[in-house]
Amino acid sequence: MNSEWYLGLDSSTQGVTALLWDAHRRRLGQVVGLHYGRDLPEYGCPHGALPDPDPAVAHAPPGMWTDGLDRIFSRLRAAGADLRTVRAIAVSAQQHGSVYLNSEAERRIAELRPDAPLAVQLDGIFSRATSPIWMDVSTSEECEDIRRALGGDRAVIQATGSNTFERFTGPQIRAFWKRDPAAWERTAHVALVNSFLTSLLIGRLAPLEPGDAAGMNLMDIRACDWHEAALRATAPDLRRRLPAIVPSDTIVGKVAPWLVIRHGFSPDTRVVVGTGDNPSSLVGLGLIEPDWMAISLGTSDTVFRLLSECRTDSRGEGHVFGAPMGGYFTLSCFQNGSLTRERVRNQHHMDWDRFTEALRSTPPGNHGGMMLPWFSPEIVPRIRYPRPFYRRLDPSDAPAHCRAVVEAQMLAIRVHSQWMGGQPLGIRATGGASKNPEIRQIMADVLGCPVYHAPVSNSAALGAAIRAAHAVRQADGRAADWAELTTPASDEKALSAILPNSSTRLLYDRMAEEYAVWEREALAEIERSSPLQKT
């Protein structure tokens, strides 16, 4: 066997990536991307969401994701990919985004033709014109409704693995039912982004798996099935509108005829149940042991880690999801990620080279200059009405502000990830900003352990391809070992390491304590000035 090609698709907040991976030689083939703002400007989403005067609202048109999926296959072929050789496909997609389909959708998806754009053929199948995505925090009232119905914070956390969060699908569904009951009545199916796109691949409605289903506040985290009390607390007659939940290694079908004729796939190409970008990145980074932590620096900054057993965060800041390899993993999400770094850079009229030089030229600890970079509504800690805070920072000192935002983001990760377990052996870094060695150095120093930069930046797309290979090998009765399939992703020799500076350990220990105290004080100040902040 010379090659064994699998295709991973990652529909993220700002674009879609397609990646071919050879499971036999464990090597990459073609990798292509599409940016929604740049390549699909007609949808009006420069950063993956429609502009809205209310900063708490973040929606996207589902037709944009459909169009992106259709076009990414054309780009793969233009890059020289022979899609007839693809054995299986798996989708990774931004978590928590929900798609609302009417009774026409199932038939229209089954009848997709190769001679017209998908977005045109699917026009009119959505009972809700736009889809709330993970950045939406407009459902605080609905979160409280669900918490109250289920018996409070701890009860929700124990039942679903997470407290109710505004971006989670359950509160979003409840808000839709409350605000537009007529449209809810027209809703026959509720999908997540990954299951919607997978449905288009197989020509019928696709199920979910425990990794992404857990991000809905609707799944019993231990039983991996819908939680009846959570369904009742969310919206009437909800169960019949939801997909089934199946194991993460389920093959859900073969590619639909439109893909065979339009894009040249083999009719025998199989499709594996999709999942969210975070579970997929877990695989793409080779994070198959609990002793390691992964940090993704993207539109949001996320930190995740495998669990040896199911346990939840009693404070309700973090989440527990099903892991693609079985068991569970933990995750905390910080919304003020790449766009916040970009905002600080732009405020000081820099490009990224000058931003990097600013990090290089400023000392660890920043001479005491610190920032709480809450420019957008934050998830950890929970802030609906944000404002940044500054301490000992000269407004004209651009380099100090650059270091302050990165140090603050790493200090926040340190302070809010303690519940996940003890000190990790190392960190695997991914996402666009992880390419920057100065940011990785600050990460290593603040968190006190080696940081390994994954050789592939598209860890979610790679994880999707590896998941496809694992499922197919297992279905065919062949060896399907996660450790083998994720090498060299899990081989430290294949990763570039940045070690923490021992001279900064005490400095960042002290700064972490100071940051935690200052954060509590700032939260109290926000709460006093914004009474609606309480959720």
3-state secondary structure of 7: strand
- Segment (H or E) for 332: strand 328-334
pLDDT of residue 533: 40
Amino acid at 369: G
CB burial string 137-171: b at 16+ within 10 A, e below: bbbbebbebbbebbeeeeebbebbbbbbbbbbbbb
Q: Please answer whether residues 326 and 314 qualify as being in contact, where contact means their C-beta atoms are separated by less than 8 angstroms.
A: no
- Domain covering 286-454+501-535 in this structure, CATH number: 3.30.420.40
Nearest-angstrom CA–CA distance, 507 and 510 = 5
Q: Please answer whether residues 515 and 392 qualify as being in contact, where contact means their C-beta atoms are separated by less than 8 angstroms.
A: no
**Of 24, 479, 468, 22, nearest to 253 (Cα)?**
468
Q: What is the mean pLDDT of each run of 10 residues along the chain (535 residues)?
A: 91 96 94 97 96 95 97 97 98 97 98 95 97 94 97 96 94 98 98 98 98 97 97 98 98 98 98 96 90 89 91 88 94 93 97 98 97 93 91 96 98 93 89 92 97 83 97 94 83 77 97 97 90 45
**How many angstroms separate the Cα of 518 from the Cα of each of 78, 375, 441?**
53, 17, 24
3-state secondary structure of 307: strand
Query: Dihedral sign, CA of 131, 135, 140, 144?
Result: positive
* Partners of residue 72 on adjacent β-strands: none
Q: Please answer whether residues 228 and 298 qualify as being in contact, where contact means their C-beta atoms are separated by less than 8 angstroms.
A: no
pLDDT of residue 308: 85
**Of 196, 48, 137, 114, nearest to 379 (Cα)?**
137
- Domain covering 5-280 in this structure, CATH number: 3.30.420.40
Give phi and psi for 529, each to the nearest 5. Answer: -85, -20
Query: Dihedral sign, CA of 219, 225, 231, 237?
Result: positive
Amino acid at 91: V
Query: How many CB atoms are closer than 10 A to CB 288?
Result: 19
- Same fold for the pair 5-280 and 286-454+501-535: yes
Query: Dihedral sign, CA of 374, 376, 381, 382?
Result: positive
DSSP one-letter string for 16-59:
EEEEEEETTTTEEEEEEEEEHHHH-GGG--TTSS---SSTT--E
**Of 489, 460, 462, nearest to 211 (Cα)?**
460
Query: How many CB atoms are closer than 10 A to CB 50?
Result: 18
Give phi and psi for 340, each to the nearest 5. Answer: -75, -45
Strand-pair category, 292-297 with 426-430: parallel
Nearest-angstrom CA–CA distance, 498 and 488 = 18
Nearest-angstrom CA–CA distance, 201 and 199 = 5
Domain boundaries, the chain: 5-280, 286-454+501-535
User: What is the 3-class SS of 337-406, one letter each residue?
Assistant: CHHHHHHHHHHCCCCHHHHHHHHHHCCCCHHHCEEECCCCCECCCCECCCCCEEECCCCCCHHHHHHHHH
What is the rounded end-to-end Cα distance, in angstroms, of the chain?
A: 57
**Of 329, 213, 219, 194, nearest to 272 (Cα)?**
194
Residue with tokens 């399907």: 480
Tokens of 485: 């399939």
Nearest-angstrom CA–CA distance, 306 and 287 = 7
Nearest-angstrom CA–CA distance, 504 and 270 = 51
pLDDT of residue 534: 42
Tokens of 365: 């600890």
pLDDT of residue 424: 92
